[in-house]
Chains A and B, each alone.
Chain A
Amino acid sequence: MQRLEIWRTTTFRLTLVYGLAFAIGVVAVLGLTYASTAVFMTRQMNQIVVGQARGLQGVPPRALAETFRQLEEQDVRHVYYFGLFRRDGAWIAGNVHRLPPGTPQDGLPRPLREPGFQPGARALAERLPSGEILFVGFDAKVLSGLRAIILSALLLSGALVIVLGLAVGAALSLAPLRRIRAMQQASQPILDGELSARLPTSNKGDEIDLLAGIANGMMDEVERLLWAVKSVGDNVAHDLRTPLTRLRALLYRVREETGPSAAHADMIDQALSETDALLTRFKALQRISEIDRRERRAGFASVRLQALVEQIGELYAPLAEQHGQRLLVEAEDACEILADRDLLFEAFSNLMSNAVKFTPAGGVVRLKLTRRTEGPRLEVIDTGPGVPEAEREAVLERFYRGREAGRAPGCGLGLSIVAAVARLHNFRLELGDAAPGLRVTLDCWAPAMGR
């Protein structure tokens, strides 16, 4: 059965989706904060740059170098940049030694994208009335700091969201997961055919309980219907057998009293054999439900399969010979198993009967008992037409006869009896391809309970 993993649960996925939405929200808030702060700060810096430039405009160009020096001395944060350049761009004074190329000299602040400056630095250049170019820049390194803060906040909150989301998701999923697993476990017997089993419900009345309730309700109905169908089948088989037996008794008496030379003796014989065929079918049907009804393990005893298989081989040898088939019996001394000896014999007998029936003259029927670590394995392998893969399930059902069985005598109940015996013992019955022919495998050990 497929095992439900925690990350597949709805709760876990929902928690993850919530976490993701939360992360997107955090990113949006931080991004918005960053953007509006950046706009605000840019405006501030523009004003600073413009104000500084205005103050310097009033200083005579010859005194500018001195003013620059004084200003630099006061500027302990190293945020102000000045430069005085000749008309051709040659440096005269200031801590900026190169006029960034292509700077319009219109006195409007612009972003300063020069190596050595942080992003967000602003600068302006303007032509002094004397013809020199004044350059004023401001780089507060605030924006990049802000960006770093926001980025680390994003990383941290992202990591937090992920870890917390996973943890909370797992924690929240655990309880429902446990319940789902309990249900899965409870449903295994149902899948194995024990229709009286039900799914567990809690008193929470939540959606899981609701679904379990619905499933249990459906199981009730399935069980009821199945019992109805079964008992109808059983009753029909039982009720029809009695009048049929009486009919047969009458026919038999007529034949006994008129003698074999009577006018219609042949027809009476035919009627008798038809009645017998019908009776056989009903008997087999009843037999199946009898086996199915039997208390599990009641009447089980230690069985040595080797002897049983050899006995089966001996029982079927003359029949195989009559059909012109070679019967090969290979029986290893397998370990003793706990089983119903009579039912196993009946099952093996049915398998052999089928194999002999469907194998053409000159073919080979193999009856094989092998010892495996889990227990004894019985195989009946023939060289007949086999059963197409699509029909292998169906031939185990009552009355189903494969297409190949068309002309062969029989009622299509033999394999159903085998299946019923396998069910009773919890043995695995499998039909496979022996290329050519059919290989029926009966693993005579009960698989470990619960998976």
Chain B
Amino acid sequence: MTRILAIEDDEITAREIVAEFTRRGYEVECVADGREGLVRAVSGEFEAVTLDRMLPNVDGLTIVSVMRKAGIDIPVLMISALTDVDERIRGLRAGGDDYMTKPFASEEMSARLEVLLRRARAQPRETMLRVQDLELDLVTREARRGGREIALLPTEFKLLEYLMRNAGEVLTRTMIFEAIWGYHFDPGTNLIDVHLSGLRRKVDAPGLTPLIRTIRGSGYALSATA
């Protein structure tokens, strides 16, 4: 069972994190103190960490940079009440893999962490992505479904690559927007949906088993298995 360390000093937030991960089948350990959190984070017992930015004794930035210096490269999702862009940059520069601001929706948090976990486990330097009968060649930049070629626009290619790399995971609209366009604001639900439905028309042609699933209230996922 995947073990996750949550370093969070706000009791209610901590409870939410624990509840969400437990529901998704992870084992969660929660620590409220910065120093203790650092000790647990470098213990090698966990596959991922959610890290509050401001903690008693040792702060989040220090924890993540010490972890990185100690050669521990497990995914770290930073969670902070500091919304400023500079704070995000500082968090990522210190070694965080993703940055979320409080308050957050729990499924957004778990979705982000799952993507991080998956990225950490993924085989490096893949040149061909395969999900069921869907293939994406990252070198020739060609997409095929059941052997038939699909013509994709550059944005659609990036979108499909992101979905396929994270097949089976729920990807929220915010995550998709951040991953494909690289900006951190709320562009409105509809804007991302319309890009997805364009891609879906090409990938899930009539008569084929739909691969791109809409997860109500959350986002999208590419079916990993039939």
A binds B: yes
Q: Are A298 and B185 in contact (CB under 8 A)?
A: no
Q: CA of A241 to CA of B197 in the docked complex: distance in angstroms?
A: 31
Report the Cα distance A438→B107, complex, angstroms.
39
Contact A283-B186, Cβ < 8 Å, known A249-B105, A249-B106: yes
If A255-B217, A269-B216, A298-B86 touch, whether A287 touches B105 (CB-CB below 8 Å) is: no
Contact between B185 and A287, CB atoms less than 8 A apart: yes
Is B188 in contact with chain A by the CB < 8 A criterion? yes
B105 in contact with A346 (CB, 8 Å): no
Contact residues on B (Cβ < 8 Å of other chain), bracket: 20 to 34
A299-B86, A318-B195 known; A346-B216 Cβ under 8 A:
no
Complexed CA–CA distance, A315 and B194 (Å): 10
Please give, as numbers and ranges, the residues of chain B lying within 8 Å of A290 by CB-CB distance: 83-84
Give the nearest-CB partner of B217 in chain A: A272
Q: How many A-B pairs with Cβ below 8 Å?
A: 70
| A246 and B103 form a contact (CB under 8 A) | yes
Interface string of B19-61 (1 = CB under 8 A from A): 1000100000000000000000000000000000000000000
B123 at the interface (CB under 8 A from A): no
Residue A75 at the chain B interface, CB threshold 8 Å: no
A245/B103 contact (C-beta < 8 A), A255-B217, A318-B195 known: yes
Q: How far is the CB of A76 from chain B (nearest CB, A)?
A: 107
Whether B103 contacts A346 by the Cβ 8 Å rule is: no
Verify A353–B191 contact, CB threshold 8 A: yes
A206 to B219, CA, bound (A): 68
In whole Å, how far is A337's beta carbon from the nearest beta carbon of chain B? 18
The answer to the question of A242 belonging to the interface, with a C-beta cut-off of 8 Å to chain B, is: yes
- Known A-B contacts A246-B103, A322-B194; A342 and B19 likewise in contact (beta carbons under 8 Å): no
Tell me if B12 is interfacial: C-beta within 8 Å of chain A: yes
* Cross-chain contact of B105 among A248, A286, A315, A316 (Cβ < 8 A): A248
Which residues of A212-256 have CB atoms within 8 Å of chain B's CB atoms? 241-242, 244-246, 248-249, 252-253, 255-256
Closest to A265 in B: B216
Interface residues of A in 273-296 (CB under 8 A from B): 273, 276, 280, 283-284, 286-287, 290, 294
Separation of A315 and B155 alpha carbons in the complex (Å): 9
Residue of B nearest to A293 (CB): B84
Q: How far is the CA of A65 from the CA of B219 in the complex (A)?
A: 138
A286 touches B83 (CB 8 A): yes
Complexed CA–CA distance, A249 and B12 (Å): 12
* CA distance in complex: A276, B23 (Å): 22
Chain B neighbourhood of A255, CB < 8 A: 217
The answer to the question of A105 belonging to the interface, with a C-beta cut-off of 8 Å to chain B, is no
Secondary structure at the A interface, as helix, strand, loop or mixed, is helix
| Interface presence of A260 (CB below 8 A) | yes
Q: B195–A342 contact, CB under 8 A? A: no
- B62, chain A: closest CB distance, angstroms: 23
B188 contact set on A, CB distance < 8 A: 353
Q: Within B152-184, which residues are at the interface with A (CB < 8 Å)? A: 155, 181, 183-184
| Contact A249 to B16, CB < 8 A, known contacts A269-B217, A318-B194, A322-B194 | yes
Whether the pair A342, B23 counts as a contact (CB closer than 8 A) is no
Does A302 reach chain B (CB closer than 8 Å)? no
Q: Determine the distance from Cα of A353 to Cα of B191 in the docked complex, in whole angstroms.
A: 8
Q: Do A319 and B105 touch (CB < 8 A)?
A: no
A349 at the interface (CB under 8 A from B): yes
Enumerate A306-344 residues with CB–CB distance to B below 8 Å: 311, 314-316, 318-319, 322, 342
Q: Are A345 and B183 in contact (CB under 8 A)?
A: yes
A342 to B85, CA, bound (A): 9
Instruction: Report the minimum CB–CB distance from B54 to chain A (whole Å).
Output: 15
Whether A342 pairs with B184 at a CB distance below 8 angstroms is: yes
Q: Which of chain A's residues has its CB closest to B190's CB?
A: A319
A315 contacts B181, C-beta separation under 8 Å:
yes
* Residue ID in chain B nearest A298 by CB atoms: B86
Is B210 located at the chain interface by the 8 A CB criterion?
no
Identify which of residues 375-421 in chain A touch chain B, using a CB-to-CB cut-off of 8 Å: none
**Across the interface, do B23 and A256 meet the contact criterion of CB distance under 8 Å?**
yes
* Contact A252–B194 (Cβ < 8 Å): no
User: When the two chains form their complex, are residues A318 and B105 in contact, meaning their CB atoms are under 8 A apart?
Assistant: no
Given A290-B83, A315-B191: A252 in contact with B107 (beta carbons within 8 A): yes
Bound-state CA distance A314–B194 (Å) is: 12
B residues within 8 A CB of A342?
85, 183-185
Smallest distance from the beta carbon of A316 to chain B beta carbons, Å? 7
Contact A318 B12 (CB under 8 A): no
Question: Which residues of chain A are within 8 angstroms of B183 by Cβ–Cβ distance?
Answer: 342, 345-346, 349
**In the bound complex, CA of A286 to CA of B82 (Å):** 12
Tell whether, in the assembled complex, residue A346 and residue B107 are in contact, meaning their CB atoms are under 8 Å apart.
no
Q: Is the CB of B16 within 8 A of A346?
A: no
| 24 pairs from A and B in contact (CB 8 Å cutoff) | A245-B105, A246-B12, A246-B103, A248-B105, A249-B16, A249-B105, A252-B105, A280-B186, A284-B186, A290-B84, A311-B181, A315-B187, A315-B191, A318-B194, A318-B195, A319-B190, A342-B85, A342-B183, A342-B185, A345-B183, A349-B187, A353-B187, A353-B188, A353-B191
Other than the known A253-B106, A287-B185, what 8 A-B pairs have Cβ atoms closer than 8 Å? A242-B103, A249-B16, A252-B106, A252-B107, A276-B217, A284-B186, A349-B185, A353-B191
Closest 6 CB pairs of A and B: A245-B103, A318-B194, A346-B185, A319-B194, A242-B103, A318-B198
